[in-house]
Amino acid sequence: MDFLFITQQTLSATIGVNTIIFALAAIGLNMHFGYTGLLNFGQAGFLAIGAYSVAVPVVSFGIPLWIAFLIGIFNSIIFALLLGIPTLRLRADYLAIVTIAAAEIVRQIARSATFNEWLGGSDGITGKFGKEFFDLNPFKSGLDTPILRFNANDLWVVIVGWSLVAVITFVMWIMVNSPWGRLMRAIREDEDAVRSLGKNVYLYKMQSLIIGGVIGSIGGFVYALSRQSVQPDNYGTALTFFAYTVLILGGAARVFSPVVGAMIFWFLIVFIEQILRQGVSNNLIPDWLIGVNQVGQIRFMLMGLGLMALMIFRPQGIFGDKKELALDAKA
Amino acid sequence: MLVVSIGLAIFLRYFFLFLFGGDTRQLPQYAGQAGLEFGLLSITPKSILTTSIGIILIILATLWLLKTRMGKASRAVSDNPALASASGIDVQKVIRAVWVLGAALATYAGVIITINQGVSFLMGQDMLLLIFAAVTLGGLGTANGALVGSLIIGLFVQLSTLFIPTELKYVGALIILIIILIIRPQGILGKKERIG
């Protein structure tokens, strides 16, 4: 077993691109679910909107990348309005059903052959749409140390990505500690009480949905740029549920928990995968038990089991406060 | 409970992938069964059997929900768990019973799909959203709402391919779901006071 290699891979993943994407997706969900109590099961849809809004205008219509970012934010606001207007007046489960359905609609339209010309069908879009972004890259070579390894492009994405996460986390911290944030938590605890104080609950829920959605679509920007391609099947319902796992792992309704949750999540995933891979290729794990191609499946099985165990034994997450918000495993 | 069941679903899906691999497999004895002709209709013996068992199960489930003490208790729990508990209903027991029965019905649905379309580890995922759509369309918390919703969704999905590309047929069903929620959020059979 090559422990140095395992350490390098694991640590690089812990602060890597995927961690940034999941942290952003989970910060958005934290706004929705942690602070306002909205059950948004369509966060993958917001990421897909963000990713496609970066790729499609640049590749199919030749619009500059910086304008594509604005288009992406605009689109995610529209998407949030579309989801919110019919459902936010209804019981919580309606939002859950509509968001999960809408995210699937986005994915299936993106992968359909009908819109192949613009959206690239099931292969998605691969191209140099991030050129303007990577032209600004000051790093000529990547980072290659025994414990961390990034190529030049990844290094640039990681640095810009973490700066984004820091800024957004700071803004979140200001927002949730303002009177506005208190109102959000009040809506989560008792909507009727807030309404009786003369506040327009519908409007505030809509604001929460839009803000969380925009943060999610920024995660989509990072997803698209870091890979220089968008593939529709990356934005399935599994992405939403893993973002929830990240959020619950860290503890909902804490400003830093999505970031820490994402780091722990990817640390565990890559660590387990590397250990299993090395074990299998060095014949430490017998072949009849786990084949080389089955390591990825074991990883997903453990993720499912971990999510269940977390909900049953520690629903408030690692840093969560039981008084602030404990997810009821029975509800 | 919701998130726990999602965790279980992810685990089971990849557990089956681990055990059986990623192919769709058919049941060879039933794959290409010859149909029996009844005038204009042609129906295979396997469809007659699975459909009649299915109809019996639907009738039993409806009777259970509407007539038995346990069924009434389950509707009370769904309406207001605290009040149900206060009136002497063992809420935990009701929840357990409902989960077991619901899982059993879903398992039979799995058997029907397997006999007709073969078995693969992803077969549940494709159905899940349409099931949500059907239940919401019919009306959450109504005994026969799911049945009405399923009929509409099923017919719509198959007939809509006459007008829209086949690959977008599920999109059509989901858009119908959202439109229904805007116009009539309680569903077709639902009562207005349940939408909160």
The ipTM value here is 0.71
Do B97 and B125 have their domain in common? no
Higher pLDDT, A281 or B190: A281
**Residues A20-71 pLDDT 10s:** 999 999 999 999 988 898 888 899 999 999 999 988 888 888 888 889 999 9
User: Among the listed ranges A201-205, A269-273, A282-286, which one has the minimum average pLDDT value?
Assistant: A282-286
Q: Report CB contact under 8 Å: A307, B10.
A: yes
- Percentages helix, strand, coil for chain A (3-state, rounded to 5) are 75, 0, 25
Do B135 and B191 have their domain in common? yes
Flag whether B15 is in a domain. no
Please count the other Cβ atoms lying within 10 Å of the Cβ belonging to residue B51: 12
Residue written as token pair 């590309």: B165
Pick from B131, B124, B129, B127: nearest CA to B13:
B124
List, in order, residues 6 or more apart from A131 with CB less than 8 Å away: A65
CA distances from A120 to A104, A107, A116, A232, B171 (A): 17, 12, 5, 9, 18
Q: Report CB contact under 8 Å: B165, A112.
A: yes
Does residue B116 surpass a pLDDT of 60?
yes
Compute the average pLDDT of residues A139-168.
Answer: 86
Range of the domain at B156: 121-196
> pLDDT > 70: what percent of chain A?
94
Do B115 and B125 have their domain in common? no
Do B169 and B196 have their domain in common? yes
In this structure, what is the dihedral angle of CA atoms A246, A252, A257, A258, given to the nearest 10 degrees?
40
Question: Looking at CA atoms only, how far is residue A230 from chain B in angstroms?
Answer: 20
pLDDT at A324: 62
Using DSSP's 3-state secondary structure scheme, residue A331 falls into coil
Instruction: Decide: A325 and A253 in contact? Cβ < 8 Å.
Output: yes
Q: Measured between alpha carbons, how far is B128 from B149 in angstroms, rounded to an integer?
A: 14
Beta-bridged to residue A211, according to DSSP, are none
Beta-sheet strands, E only, within chain A: 125-126, 143-144, 149-150, 229-230
CA distances from A136 to A157, A164, B48, B105, B192 (A): 11, 16, 67, 58, 57
Q: Which residues of A touch B125 (CB under 8 A)?
A: 237
What interhelical angle do B169-183 and A92-111 show, nearest 10?
150
Do B126 and B194 have their domain in common? yes
Q: Report CB contact under 8 Å: A108, B167.
A: yes
Provide the pLDDT confidence category of residue B196 given band limits of 50, 70 and 90: very low
Do B52 and B66 have their domain in common? yes
> Which H or E element spans position A221?
helix A201-227
The pair phi, psi for residue A149, each rounded to 5°, is -145, 120
Residue at a domain's end among B84, B104, B119:
B119
Flag whether B6 is in a domain. no
Nearest CB neighbour to B3, from listed A93, A100, A248: A248
Do B52 and B83 have their domain in common? yes
The H-assigned helical ranges of chain B are 2-20, 45-67, 69-79, 81-86, 91-117, 123-138, 145-159, 169-183
Pick from A1, A75, A49, A91: nearest CA to A232:
A49
Using DSSP's 3-state secondary structure scheme, residue B42 falls into strand
Flag whether B79 is in a domain. yes
Q: Measured between alpha carbons, how far is B129 from A101 in angstroms, rounded to an integer?
A: 7
Do B132 and B103 have their domain in common? no
Residue B18 near chain A (CB below 8 Å): yes
Do B137 and B188 have their domain in common? yes
> pLDDT > 90: what percent of chain A?
29
Nearest CB neighbour to B14, from listed A112, A114, A297: A297
Residue at a domain's end among B78, B97, B119:
B119
Q: Report CB contact under 8 Å: A108, B170.
A: yes
Q: Which residues of A touch B181 (CB under 8 A)?
A: 86-87, 90, 94, 97-98
Q: Report CB contact under 8 Å: A308, B167.
A: no
**Residues B32-81 pLDDT 10s:** 666 676 766 777 777 888 888 988 998 898 888 888 888 888 888 887 88
Question: Looking at CA atoms only, how far is residue B184 from chain A in angstroms?
Answer: 10
Residue B103 tokens, joined: 């899982």
**Residues A248-283 pLDDT 10s:** 888 878 888 899 999 988 988 888 888 888 887 777
CA distances from A123 to A111, A118, B35, B76, B126 (A): 7, 12, 39, 49, 20
pLDDT at A330: 41
Q: Which residues of B touch A244 (CB under 8 A)?
A: 3, 6
Flag whether B28 is in a domain. no
Residue A22 tokens, joined: 């999941």
User: Among the listed ranges A7-11, A217-221, A307-311, A324-328, which one has the minimum average pLDDT value?
Assistant: A324-328
Instruction: Decide: B1 and A93 in contact? Cβ < 8 Å.
Output: no
> pLDDT > 70: what percent of chain B?
87
Flag whether B2 is in a domain. no
Do B90 and B46 have their domain in common? yes
For B182, which residue in chain A has the nearest alpha carbon? A86
How many structural domains is chain B composed of? 2
Flag whether B112 is in a domain. yes
Do B114 and B135 have their domain in common? no
pLDDT at A263: 92
Residue at a domain's end among B78, B100, B119:
B119
Flag whether B126 is in a domain. yes
Does the predicted TM-score (pTM) go above 0.90? Answer: no
**A-B C-beta contacts closer than 8 Å:** 113
Question: Looking at CA atoms only, how far is residue B196 from chain A in angstroms?
Answer: 5
Pick from B138, B146, B132, B145: nearest CA to B174:
B132
Q: Measured between alpha carbons, how far is B56 from A328 in angstroms, rounded to an integer?
A: 36
For A98, which residue in chain B has the nearest alpha carbon? B178
Pick from A239, A246, A241, A235: nearest CA to A53:
A235
Do B56 and B127 have their domain in common? no
Q: Long-range contacts for A70-74 (Cβ within 8 Å, ≥24 apart)?
A: A72/A217, A72/A220, A72/A221, A73/A214, A73/A217, A73/A218
What one-letter code names the amino acid at A258?
P
Mean pLDDT, chain B, integer = 79
Flag whether B34 is in a domain. no
Q: Measured between alpha carbons, how far is A99 from B35 in angstroms, rounded to an integer?
A: 41
Pick from A57, A38, A21, A36: nearest CA to A217:
A21
pLDDT at A124: 82
Residue A110 near chain B (CB below 8 Å): no
Q: Report CB contact under 8 Å: B14, A301.
A: yes
